[in-house]
Amino acid sequence: MARLFGTDGVRGVANADLTAELALGLSVAAAHVLARIAEAAPSGSSAGAGARPKAVVGRDPRASGEFLEAAVVAGLASAGVDVLRVGVLPTPAVAHLTAVLGADLGVMLSASHNPMPDNGIKFIARGGHKLSDELEDAIEEVYARHAHGEPWTRPTGAGVGRITDHAEGFDTYVAHLLGVLPNRLDGLKVVIDGAHGAAARVSPTAFATAGAEIVTIGDDPTGLNINDGYGSTHLDKLRAAVLEHGADLGVAHDGDADRCLAVDADGNEVDGDQILAVLALAMREAGTLREDTVVATVMSNLGFKLALEREGLTLIQAAVGDRYVLEELKRGGFALGGEQSGHVIALDHATTGDGTLTGLLLAARVAATGRTLAELAGVMERLPQVLVNVPDVDRSRVATCAELQHAVREAEAELGATGRVLLRPSGTEPLVRVMVEAADIDQARAVAGRLADVVKSTLG
């Protein structure tokens, strides 16, 4: 059986790849694996205290999330897990609630920035952390054994789990966000693009309560319009709204709000690398940037690395995916990491990328310094970077195709020390990403185009 888990949970077209049966079966398997681990824990676990295991389940507003939530909740309860159903909330909110409510696992139903027909299941371990590869493998193994005929161990009678709606989760999460802010946002005008997703209500509430004057777009989720022309992958409407309303900045989330990208007062994009640079300097000033180190990924712009070096900060690069950034943060005891795409992890305050928190911290820095976002983001200069997504190819052969690897070596020789090439199979979508950096944008485009053609011809 092909591996079900990608870089961020299990994803696919809802009701085609990701069915109710799969959601139910994976939830039972996760309950068996994660609850068993919790039972072995000496303290801090609901199961370890002699009670039934407890799970927190949330979702983004996709229509398919309704039936998938029902399947997940049914699977967990059938495995003897009590379920707190928190409704539509961001992924970082579900992670936070999993931790503060002492739950043994959390489940978030979302396909993040993917189009509406897709959905996904993200399992969260006790403490609010994303699962390790080892835990995902263990869940897949249990699920596969059941798929091949091994029966589940099923409780009956009073042993089945109970299901409770936990509407208080919204207020708990907003209070957490406001408690993290170093200063208020009074005097700032901020445009918030909720992507018609999980942050459409949370983010405006948090910003307004913190004192900002807000304008909202992408704030009317219907279940069918998530990420449709709005959000962190579609910044044009945010740019237009910032300019129209004379705002100081705009922030854009993705469907499950674990990302944040920004736009300055002139409508220029401020990406995840620039946000990390701004926050790193703020944290160093506050004495909270442990070891003066930032963790990013191999996709980070070379200009980001050069900016940190100029400021006397250290950059550690992890594999693509905020889970791998998190692993490096925990391994080294660091406090800040993230991705160019807008996943930013402030580990002292969150266990995963948190788009609303990132936007709040960025706005707080603008308010505290009195400087514009453009001035703050100017700490780094982005070198020309071209990213081409090549769909409908065999992702598994990227590292083994000799002709493709030869083309990469030729491109690297052409770019020399002034650029780089990165080919990466997407972990969440059926495509290969071709990234080229160069000192000259025309050269970057030409090299990326040639490599994309080679990917199509050799892997198509």
Binding residues for Mg(2+): 112, 254, 256, 258
Q: Which of 386, 390, 66 is nearest to 224 (CA)?
A: 66
Strands 189-193, 213-217: pairing is parallel
DSSP assignment string, 95-112:
HHHHHHTT-SEEEEE--T
- How far apart (Å, rounded) are the C-alpha atoms in residues 111 and 118? 6
Is 426 one of the annotated active-site residues of the chain?
A: no
Q: Which of 110, 112, 203, 300 is catalytic?
A: 112
What are the start-end ranges of the H helices in 181-300?
202-209, 236-245, 272-286
Summarize the annotated binding site as residue ranges.
Answer: 112, 254, 256, 258
Cα angle 354, 244, 249 (rounded to 5 degrees) comes to 30
DSSP assignment string, 300-361:
S-HHHHHHHHHTT-EEEEE-SSHHHHHHHHHHHT-SEEE-TTS-EEETTT-SS--HHHHHHH
Which residue type does 20 have? A
C-alpha pair distances (Å), 397 with each of 155, 260, 365, 429: 44, 32, 44, 15
In sequence order, the β-bridge partners of residue 109 are 59, 121
DSSP assignment string, 378-395:
TTS-PPPEEEEEEESS-G
Contact 197, 231 (CB under 8 A): yes
Which residue type does 226 have? I
Cα dihedral value 424, 425, 429, 431, nearest 10 = 90
Cβ-based neighbour number of residue 286 at 10 Å: 10
Q: Which two tokens stand for residue 155?
A: 């409780």
Annotated catalytic residues are 112
